[in-house]
Amino acid sequence: MKSAATDTLESRIGSFQAVLKGRIVLPEDSDYDKERKVYNGMIDKRPRMIVKCADASDVVASVNFGRENNLLIAVRGGGHNGGGLGICDNGLVIDLSEIKFVQVNTADNTVKVGGGNLWREVDQATHPFGLAIPGGIISSTGVGGLTLGGGIGHLARKYGLTIDNLLEAEMVLADGSSVTASEKQNSDLFWAIRGGGGNFGIVTSFKFQAHPVSTVFGGPTLWPIERTEEIMKWYHDFINNAPDELNGFIATLVIPGAPFPEHLHNKHFCGIVWCAVGDMDKAKKAFEPVLAMDPVFHHVGEMPYPAVQTLFDGMLPHGLQWYWRADFFNELGPEVRKQHLKFGTSIPTPLSQMHLYPISGAASRVGPEDTAWAYRDAKYAGVIVGVDPDPANADKITTWCKEYHEALHPYSSGGAYTNFMMEEGQERVQASYRHNYARLARIKRQYDPENLFRVNQNIKPGV
Ligand SMILES: Cc1cc2nc3c(=O)[nH]c(=O)nc-3n(C[C@H](O)[C@H](O)[C@H](O)COP(=O)(O)OP(=O)(O)OC[C@H]3O[C@@H](n4cnc5c(N)ncnc54)[C@H](O)[C@@H]3O)c2cc1C
């Protein structure tokens, strides 16, 4: 027998559906299991309902419904978050995946993007105009979560983080009101959403500054894992003195299979994935010192920007098991390099990897208090991911990832890039926002005093 409270909620869901343009997916629906899936196959949450919002007015109605019915609210953009923060148990998921549009304005090279777009769709729409917005390094991630957490990618050294290119956001707040956040309007809110994640409201539309990026010089270079210490030492000097046009993140990895040549398969490597922009002759020349390091594989050349963004998409389909750990680093000293060699050699499955993304060039010239993103002085955002298709290997990838992280954490800057974290507790969130946490907590109190938006790297409303 159903309780009166459940009956009340059920009848309200009927009236709620009537005011929506989009659809509510309920546990009894045949596509519920498909709709509750997120990118990380380790996440298995069962929401009370998923609202497939058609537009901003559906988002307003969903926020009001969730708040008035005391439902836990999760907001899903691209659904890629490592910790599964785009979904929740028993609550209401506000799904933005149908709020998609990319409008390119060639008069001033600005681009309006829907709150539910994926980066692939943005790159495909801007590329024909010879433009790109700094995103990440893979095309299947959501614009929403990646942007609000900061956004580190191939163009970071030349054009900064994604948030450094954000001009404006249209948002639905916890009280159901709609506002614009920009340098001129609600500037505190605009400061907070540039790094502070989904804590302050739901972004239904982003406006970005795009840049003239069309053909890039990119691809991977590999060295045997035994050379990790030497290559990391060289890389640190090289990348921190390289022109802004050259970006390259360093990794310990295993080559899992195609499209790489067969003789590399299942071997462990220290590698760098490059992306150089600007004059292609200069870009080519910039790789001379790389070749002088005698790599075993160097597959770098001219390609359209969307191609470098999709290089690894095929290797990383939806539904794999992912376990994440992260930290910022200033140095790659001898002990750190030793640990990278040790854990790089013991990578447990072909898709598990460690990446260090440079926070230098333009990304480092924004002040640590100019946006909520506090670690502008860190040299690298590091991330370790244990990845495998088989749930039976979940323990194996988790243990390796945790042990790798524990070995490196004492040498880190303290906090981590929040988009590379799982649910790791309040102390970690505070450490990651550092000196900006108190201001974020004050802005949270102003815009979301009841902490309605708390399925995220949560900033508690300040007292
Ligand atoms: C394969 C892979 C590659 C990645 N590569 C990079 C990379 O190169 N650079 C990088 O910086 N990060 C990268 N990431 C991390 C990525 O930035 C985070 O996973 C991010 O959370 C993904 O955003 P999403 O919208 O897809 O996620 P979701 O799971 O949908 O959301 C994540 C968080 O953002 C909030 N959110 C999402 N959209 C909105 C919105 N419109 N309004 C308000 N809140 C919103 C959600 O509520 C949730 O708290 C990668 C992740 C994966 C899995």
Q: Distance between CA 282 and CA 400 in Å, rounded?
A: 40
Inter-residue long-range contacts of 303-307, CB under 8 Å, 24+ positions, other chains counted: 303/215, 303/216, 303/217, 303/218, 303/219, 304/127, 304/214, 304/215, 304/216, 305/123, 305/127, 305/132, 305/154, 305/213, 305/214, 305/215, 305/216, 306/120, 306/123, 306/124, 306/127, 306/139, 307/218
In short, whether 151's Cβ falls inside 6 Å of ligand 1 is yes
pLDDT above 80 for 89 = yes
* Ligand 1 centre distance from Cα of residue 82 (Å): 8
Give, for ligand 1, the residue of 43, 51, 63, 80 to mutate: max count of ligand atoms closer than 8 Å to Cβ: 80
In short, whether 91's Cβ falls inside 6 Å of ligand 1 is no
In short, whether 311's Cβ falls inside 6 Å of ligand 1 is no
Q: What is the pLDDT of residue 8?
A: 83
In short, whether 86's Cβ falls inside 6 Å of ligand 1 is yes
pLDDT above 80 for 2 = no
* Ligand 1 centre distance from Cα of residue 394 (Å): 22
Atom of ligand 1 nearest to the CA of 150: 11
In short, whether 203's Cβ falls inside 6 Å of ligand 1 is yes
Q: What is the pLDDT of residue 6?
A: 55
Q: Distance between CA 121 and CA 306 in Å, rounded?
A: 10
Q: What is the pLDDT of residue 259?
A: 80
* Ligand 1 centre distance from Cα of residue 421 (Å): 11
In short, whether 202's Cβ falls inside 6 Å of ligand 1 is yes
Task: Answer whether 340's CB lies under 8 Å from 405's CB.
Answer: no
Residue 288 φ/ψ, nearest 5 degrees: -60, -45
pLDDT above 60 for 417 = yes
CA-based R_g, the chain, Å: 22
In short, whether 82's Cβ falls inside 6 Å of ligand 1 is yes
| Average pLDDT value for residue range 94-118 | 98
In short, whether 148's Cβ falls inside 6 Å of ligand 1 is yes
| Average pLDDT value for residue range 28-49 | 98
Task: Answer whether 147's CB lies under 8 Å from 131's CB.
Answer: no
Q: Binning pLDDT at 50, 70 and 90, where does residue 258 land?
A: confident
Atom of ligand 1 nearest to the CA of 78: 26
* Ligand 1 centre distance from Cα of residue 80 (Å): 5
Strand, helix or coil for residue 61: helix
Which tens digits make up the pLDDT trace of 114-168? 999 999 999 999 999 999 999 999 999 999 999 999 999 999 999 999 999 999 9
Which tens digits make up the pLDDT trace of 364-386? 999 999 999 999 999 999 999 99
Which tens digits make up the pLDDT trace of 296-346? 999 999 999 999 999 999 999 999 999 999 999 999 999 999 999 999 999
| Average pLDDT value for residue range 243-251 | 98
In short, whether 81's Cβ falls inside 6 Å of ligand 1 is yes
Percent of the chain exceeding pLDDT 70 equals 98
Q: What is the pLDDT of residue 405?
A: 98
Q: What is the pLDDT of residue 105?
A: 98
* Ligand 1 centre distance from Cα of residue 147 (Å): 7
* Ligand 1 centre distance from Cα of residue 43 (Å): 15
| Average pLDDT value for residue range 11-40 | 97
Q: What is the pLDDT of residue 424?
A: 94
| Average pLDDT value for residue range 183-208 | 98
Residue nearest ligand 1's atom 47 by CA: 75
Question: Alpha carbon of 43 to those of 72, 81, 454: distances in Å?
Answer: 17, 10, 17
Q: Binning pLDDT at 50, 70 and 90, where does residue 463 land?
A: confident
Residue nearest ligand 1's atom 34 by CA: 145
In short, whether 39's Cβ falls inside 6 Å of ligand 1 is yes
Q: What is the pLDDT of residue 389?
A: 97
Q: Binning pLDDT at 50, 70 and 90, where does residue 243 land?
A: very high
Against a cut of 0.95, is the pTM above it?
yes
